[in-house]
Amino acid sequence: KYVSAEETLKLIAKQWCTLEDIMKLGHLGRNSALKAKKKIKEKLEKQGYLIPKSVVPTKEVVAFFDIDIPYLESRVSSKEFIKNM
């Protein structure tokens, strides 16, 4: 399922991402999302961080998928601008 810019911004506004969030943000199935989550978690644990079992930091998910936040914000703001005309 396609996730709009607005939905993406709502997902990345949270501090932590669940598996379902990773699936949406990466446009991945369950198994691929589990692999991505595992890679993110292992990277952070190697750096000495303790990460909860069911979530990973959203900041790391954004970096992993190289999500362009300014672009998404511009898409949302331009939609709002058009709506208000």
Please give the pLDDT value at position 2: 79
pLDDT tens-digit readout, 12-53: 999 999 999 999 999 999 999 999 999 999 999 999 999 999
Which one is predicted more confidently, 1 or 39?
39
Say how far apart CA 47 and CA 25 lie, in whole Å: 24
Burial of 7 (0-12, 13-18, 19+ CB in 10 A): middle
